Amino acid sequence: MQKKIIALAIAGLASSAVFADTNVTIYGRMDYGYMNRGGTDGPVTGRASASEFGAGLQSGSRIGFKGVEDLGNGLKALFQVETGSIGNDSSTGLSSLRNAYVGLTSKYGTLVGGKLDGVRYGIFNKYDAFGGGNVGNFTQMTAQVDRANNAIAYISPSFAGLTATLAYSTHIGTSNPLNLPASGQENTAGGNKGDGMLTTAMLNYKNGGLDLTADWERVSFKDGLAPIASATTVNYAAYAFDHVTVWNVGGSYDFGFVKVAALYDNLQADARIGNGGVVVDVDTWFVSASAPVGKFVVKTTYGQTEDKKASGDVKASKLGVGADYLLSKRTKLYATYGKIWNGDDSKYMLSPLANCSTGAGTVGAGACTSALGTHGFDIGIAHTF
């Protein structure tokens, strides 16, 4: 049960048996394994290796509830709420809200609101054979909005295989205000100032084994405020930029004996008001393939990311190879190897978590403390229900 983009998640809900007499479905995934990481490359030095057991190495353990109510005349109400463990830390248990939404669906499309999976994040995971998990995943090399709070999304009906998704969030982080005042002080942020507002427009075309996607997104940090030194703040890093704009194109073709995919992505960030201009310009690409071989599914992904605006050689590439062994339709064993090559001035490290690169020169760099070393492997078991 890899993460899916909003459009696919809703489409899956709309076509499932949840529309039968029982209008609530309980689903979930349990994932546990062993991981070893270490090694140095480029500026990444002095890192001790780590051997650890953990949950969610391939995809986060979770439990969820989803359902619909038939309102008549082709109109249905729908909902989903999903909670799960955080990353690969089994000590957190089933305590983290993953996504939750409520909405309406009809022949005119679907409208939902709540905490929604990021569209671009889902696109990366869709075309990466590792789906954003295991140490072989490539999504971790990029800055991602994995889920957006305070969001609303519209998913169009399919027109000859073409589907559109439009989404907007008044603040992708916590609810307003982001910048909290110190005790006894006035909240000088005010209104929506400092909020990360996300706008998304995506087109997807699917016909037989062909799947194509184009996406544009922008996060605008209202007024680009500087942090208040004496205040308690949720996320100072958000104030570094006025806008972060991304666009990407991706595609895959399933030949039956092998599925091949590729993606190109560009991310640009404008400096805070007063500094002006694009200060981050990251080009990212990867190619990926998966092939069924008996009860095995063999996978590989290779890609590269580079910040063209950074001073120095802020570039890295990553290779992932691995395989799943299908014990049944719901239970599988997995094993994966990942390796990162850093440029002279980049510090990407290995993680099974997407959006966890700690790479130099990228938006969100240094936000994840679980990345470690530049090569490693994992083995584990996963069961879906």
β-bridge partners, 243? 220, 270
Identify the three-state secondary structure at position 218: strand
| Neighbouring C-beta atoms of residue 73, cutoff 10 Å | 7
Question: Considering only CA atoms, which of 127, 117, 384, 142 is closest in space to residue 252?
Answer: 127
Is the pLDDT at 63 greater than 50, yes or no?
yes
Q: 274: buried, middle or exposed (CB in 10 Å: 19+, 13-18, 0-12)?
A: exposed
**Average pLDDT for 349-368:** 61
Residue 4 within a domain? no
Residue 263's identity, in one-letter code, is L
Phi first, then psi, for residue 240 (nearest 5°) are -70, -20
Q: What is the DSSP letter of 359?
A: -
Contacts of 207 (CB under 8 A, 6+ apart): 161
Whether 371 maps to a domain, the answer reads yes
Burial group, residue 122, by CB count within 10 angstroms (0-12, 13-18, 19+): buried
Whether 297 is covered by a domain: the verdict is yes
Instruction: Report how many domains make up the chain.
Output: 1
Binning pLDDT at 50, 70 and 90, where does residue 353 land? confident
pLDDT tens digits, one per residue of 27-52: 999 999 999 998 876 666 655 678 99
Rounded distance between C-alpha atoms, residue 249 and residue 373, angstroms: 30
Q: Which CATH number characterizes residue 248's domain?
A: 2.40.160.10
Read off the pLDDT of residues 115-172 as tens digits, 9 standing for 90 and up: 998 899 999 999 999 998 999 999 999 888 888 888 999 999 999 999 999 999 988 8
Beta bridge partners of 288: 261, 301
Is the pLDDT at 194 greater than 70? The verdict is no
Nearest to 193 by CA among 183, 175, 179: 179
Residue 74: inside a domain: no
Exposure string of 302-328, with b = 16+ CB inside 10 Å and e = fewer, is: bbbbbbeebeebbbbbbbbbbbbeeee
Q: Work out whether strand 331-342 and strand 315-326 pair parallel, antiparallel, or are unpaired.
A: antiparallel
Stronger pLDDT, 85 or 241, i.e. the higher one: 241
Instruction: Give the length of the chain.
Output: 385
268 vs 260, residue with greater confidence: 260
The mean predicted confidence, pLDDT, of the chain is 81
Residue 151 maps to a domain:
yes
- The predicted pLDDT at position 310 comes to 83
Q: Is 255 helix (H, G, I), strand (E, B) or coil?
A: coil
> 199 is in which domain, residue-wise?
37-59+112-180+191-384
Q: Is residue 166 part of a domain?
A: yes
Identify the residue with better confidence: 141 or 223. Answer: 141
- Choose among 131, 134, 55, 58: nearest CA to 95: 55
| Residue partners of 287: CB distance under 8 A and separation at least 6 | 260, 261, 262, 301, 302, 303
Residue 7 within a domain: no
Average pLDDT estimate for 356-361: 55
Q: How far is Cα 348 from Cα 342, in angstroms, rounded to an integer? A: 7
| Residue 134: inside a domain | yes
Strand partners, 282: 267, 307
Q: What pLDDT, on a 0 to 100 scale, did the predictor assign at position 359?
A: 58
Q: Are 110 and 14 in contact (CB under 8 A)?
A: yes
pLDDT in tens, 265-321: 999 988 765 556 778 899 999 999 999 999 999 999 999 999 988 888 889 999 999
**Where is pLDDT greater, at 99 or 111?**
111
Q: For residue 30, list its beta bridge partners.
A: 383
pTM of the predicted model as reported, rounded to 2 decimal places: 0.83
Percent of the chain residues topping a pLDDT of 70: 73
Which pLDDT value is given to residue 273?
Answer: 53
| Helix (H/G/I), strand (E/B), else coil: 337 | strand
